């Protein structure tokens, strides 16, 4: 019987957010060890409130298929919502718990480790490679397979530290469990001596391209189809394209492709190269340009019938909490109050100080205070409002929450991350999106699925904040970066990044 450990430490960091992620952000969202992790990954839900089954349940499915040969050994799983980089002490605590518990687990023959791939830590560069190396010290030569979100950043040091690396093949992401199963199967096959994972990878000096980067829409559809095809044909154990989280402050940031074959280095290189070329061909298709708040509100006002049949959903694209923004922006909120009169709007803002002020008050009370603009004062300013308290709530993940009515806007003020991606963010506090004209979300893609029943028109709004695409242009890179700078050819930098002479 081979004992294969499994664990997760995952968070997507936006290095432009000044709000550091702390241990309480993990422990308040998702943190499980040992038997509790085994129960969550065998019976579910794996991540309460978010995923019934994710990567680790996928790994368990792979282990079950070989249950006479493999024993899955749960270590720990920690997940926090996107946000600023981790505080150093938070990272070091998680790292030491992972290492200690892996040691305490006894003899281990291999491991599956689920990491985001775009996690940042204040004061530590390439922290996930460090985490992998720390795990390696315990594992010795035992196989280690790692999975990433496709927004992860790959480095040569990362590739050198793992036996195989695989990423999601969907954007918006909906294959967490399938990827965990695939990574698990590779780990198990390697431990049992049935396969010998061999990687080829390529790194592109490119942070934006591929249009909307959705897997089932062009221009990226052909790339995703090709990856699945080479896996189905048995030419590769796994094929991945990393479209990178552009607000990651790694100097060697960029899209990358990575192919894992069974002991065929030439094929891995050839396929990674082919996928990289396909991505580079799509580099000029940039993300769409979004209107400002005034134009968006005017468009919503004109959409009378759609508002009657459901709601207009406005994605606050400059303050996307699920991409790590602080969620305290007041730009769109201010515009909805001032320019959205006569339309019933639902909006969200994170402000722990305002919650402290409002919490002792009662529904019906009229209050005057400033909200928002305090967590990231470089992006927006606090907004003075006067309104009536509608309701108060204590919620898992969002913390204490107060609904405040200001003019025609119901503002959901949260103490924790204002992660508006699902209708439940509003319905849980008594706000029915069917009764709204405009509903604000702080998300790029998944809300399109979750709000489908309500949404009659989607408007992405650009104001100013940590998730503006070009906000990433201020970051330091290891050379010219597409599309910020003209780059004629990707291969020269790829060779430097891979250390090929
Ligand atoms: Zn992602």
The alpha carbon of 303 and the centre of ligand 1 are apart by a number of angstroms equal to 32
Question: What are 203's strand-pairing partners?
Answer: 256
Distance 358 CA to ligand 1 centre (A): 35
Torsion of CA 228, 230, 232, 233, to 10 degrees: 160
**Chain centroid to CA 490:** 26
The Cα–Cα gap between 144 and 136 comes to 8
Per-residue pLDDT, 209: 97
- Cβ atoms 271, 200 nearer than 8 A: yes
CB 398 within 8 A of CB 414: yes
Measured in angstroms, how far is the CA atom of residue 149 from the centroid of ligand 1? Answer: 5
Using left for φ > 0, alpha for ψ between -120 and 50, and beta otherwise, residue 43 falls in: alpha
pLDDT at residue 361 tops 90: yes
Note the pLDDT of residue 49: 79
Task: Please check whether residue 31 is in contact with residue 397, taking contact to mean a CB–CB distance below 8 angstroms.
Answer: no
Surface-to-core class of residue 206, CB atoms within 10 Å of its CB (0-12 exposed, 13-18 middle, 19+ buried) = buried
| Distance in Å, CA 215 to ligand 1 centroid | 12
Task: Give the E-state strand segments of 86-156 in sequence order.
Answer: 110-115, 144-148
% pLDDT > 70, the chain:
100
Measured in angstroms, how far is the CA atom of residue 304 from the centroid of ligand 1? 34
The answer to whether 75 and 100 are in contact (CB under 8 A) is: no
pLDDT tens digit sequence for 375-398 = 999 999 999 999 999 999 999 889
- Does the pLDDT at position 37 exceed 90? yes
Alpha helices in 204-310 (DSSP H): 221-232, 265-281, 293-302, 304-309
As a residue count, the chain comes to 501
244 C-alpha to ligand 1 centroid (Å): 8
Q: What is the mean pLDDT of the chain?
A: 97
Residue 124 CA to residue 130 CA, distance in Å, equals 9
- What pLDDT sits at residue 43? 96
Q: Cα of 154 to ligand 1 centre, how many Å?
A: 14
Q: Which two tokens stand for residue 121?
A: 């830590």
Which residues are CB-contacts of 269 (< 8 A; sequence separation ≥ 6)? Answer: 200, 259
501 pLDDT tier (thresholds 50, 70, 90): confident
Residues 6 or more apart from 44 whose CB is under 8 A from it? 52, 53, 57
Query: What spacing in Å lies between the alpha carbon of 150 and ligand 1's midpoint?
Result: 6
Side by side, the strands of the sheet bearing 164-167 are 30-33, 70-79, 2-10, 110-115, 144-148, 164-167
pLDDT of residue 75: 98
- 295: CA distance to ligand 1 center in Å? 29
Q: What is the per-residue pLDDT for 160? A: 97
CA distance 416 to 352: 7
**CA pseudo-torsion sign 12, 17, 22, 24:** negative
**Ligand 1 centroid distance, CA of 192 (Å):** 31
Strands 197-203 and 383-395 turn out to be unpaired
Q: Where exactly are the structural domains of the chain?
A: 2-281, 293-470
Describe the strand order of the beta sheet including 256-262 as a list of residue ranges: 197-203, 256-262, 238-242
Give residue 497's pLDDT: 97
User: What is the Å distance from ligand 1's center to 367 Cα?
Assistant: 39
Q: Per residue in 306-347, pLDDT tens?
A: 999 999 999 999 999 999 999 999 999 999 999 999 999 999
Q: Mean pLDDT over residues 173-185, rounded?
A: 97
pLDDT-derived band at 422, boundaries 50, 70, 90: very high
Whole-model pTM? 0.94
pLDDT reading at 79 higher than 90: yes
Neighbouring-strand partners of residue 47: 51
- Do residues 393 and 357 lie in contact, with contact meaning Cβ atoms separated by under 8 Å? no
At 464-491, the pLDDT tens digits run 999 999 999 999 999 999 999 999 999 9
CB 209 within 8 A of CB 185: no
Specify the 3-state DSSP secondary structure of 475: coil
Residue recorded with tokens 């052909």? 222
Residues, beta carbon < 5 Å, ion ligand 1: 149, 151
Closest C-alpha to 89, from 114, 132, 111, 122: 122
Q: Under CATH, which number does the domain 2-281 receive?
A: 3.40.50
Q: How far is the centre of ligand 1, averaged over its atoms, from the C-alpha of 328 (Å)?
A: 22
**Mean pLDDT calculated for residue range 216-222:** 97
Q: What is the pLDDT of residues 101-142, one digit of tens each?
A: 999 999 999 999 999 999 999 999 999 999 999 999 999 999
Q: Looking at the predicted structure, is the pLDDT value of residue 155 above 90? A: yes
pLDDT at 406 over 90: yes
What three-state secondary structure class fits 97? Answer: helix
The shares of helix, strand and coil residues in the chain, as percent rounded to the nearest 5, are 35, 25, 45
If pLDDT is split at 50, 70 and 90, which confidence band does 50 have?
Answer: confident
Q: How far is the CA of 285 from the centre of ligand 1 (A)?
A: 19
Q: CB neighbours (10 Å) of residue 249? A: 18
């Amino acid at each position: 019987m081979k004992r294969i450990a499994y664990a997760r430490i995952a968070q997507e960091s936006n290095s432009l957010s000044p709000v550091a992620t702390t241990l309480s952000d993990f422990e308040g969202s998702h943190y499980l060890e040992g038997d509790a992790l085994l129960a969550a990954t065998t019976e579910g839900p794996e991540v309460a409130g978010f995923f019934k089954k994710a990567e680790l349940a996928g790994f368990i499915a792979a282990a079950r298929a070989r249950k006479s040969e493999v024993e899955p050994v749960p270590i720990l799983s920690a997940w926090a919502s996107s946000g600023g980089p981790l505080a150093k002490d938070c990272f070091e605590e998680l790292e030491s718990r992972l290492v200690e518990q892996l040691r305490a687990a006894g003899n281990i023959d291999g491991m599956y480790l689920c990491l985001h791939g775009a996690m940042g830590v204040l004061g530590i560069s390439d922290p996930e490679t460090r985490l992998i190396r720390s795990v390696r010290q315990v594992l010795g030569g035992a196989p280690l397979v790692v999975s990433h979100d496709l927004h992860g950043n790959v480095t040569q040091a990362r590739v050198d530290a793992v036996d195989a690396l695989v990423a999601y093949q969907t954007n918006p992401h909906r294959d967490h469990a399938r990827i965990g199963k695939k990574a698990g199967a590779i780990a198990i096959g390697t431990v049992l001596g049935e396969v010998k994972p061999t990687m080829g990878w390529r790194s592109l000096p490119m942070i934006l391209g591929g249009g909307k980067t959705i897997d089932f829409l062009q221009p990226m559809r052909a790339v995703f189809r090709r990856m699945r095809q080479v896996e189905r044909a048995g030419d590769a154990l796994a094929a991945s394209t990393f479209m990178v989280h552009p607000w990651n402050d790694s100097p060697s940031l960029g899209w990358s492709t990575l192919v894992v074959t069974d002991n065929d280095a030439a094929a891995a290189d050839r396929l990674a190269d082919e996928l990289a070329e396909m991505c580079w061909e799509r580099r000029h298709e940039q993300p769409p340009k979004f209107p400002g708040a005034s134009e968006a509100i005017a468009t919503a006002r004109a959409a009378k019938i759609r508002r009657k049949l459901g709601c207009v959903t406005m994605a606050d694209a400059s303050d996307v909490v699920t991409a790590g923004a602080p969620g305290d922006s007041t730009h769109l909120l201010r515009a909805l109050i001032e320019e959205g009169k006569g339309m019933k709007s639902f909006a969200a803002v994170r402000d722990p100080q305002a919650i402290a002020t409002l919490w002792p008050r009662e529904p019906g009370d009229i209050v005057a205070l400033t909200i928002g603009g305090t967590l990231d004062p470089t992006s927006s300013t606090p907004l003075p409002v006067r309104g009536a308290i509608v309701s108060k709530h204590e919620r898992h993940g969002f913390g204490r929450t107060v609904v405040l009515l200001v003019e025609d806007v119901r503002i959901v003020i949260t103490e924790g991350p204002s992660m508006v991606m699902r209708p439940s963010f509003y319905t849980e506090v008594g706000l029915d999106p069917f009764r709204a004209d405009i509903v604000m979300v702080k998300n790029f893609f998944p809300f399109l699925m979750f709000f489908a029943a309500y949404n009659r028109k989607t408007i992405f709004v650009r104001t100013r904040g940590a998730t503006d695409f070009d906000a990433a242009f201020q970051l330091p890179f290891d050379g010219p970066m597409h599309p910020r700078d003209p780059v004629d050819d990707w291969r020269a930098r790829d060779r430097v990044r891979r250390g090929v002479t």
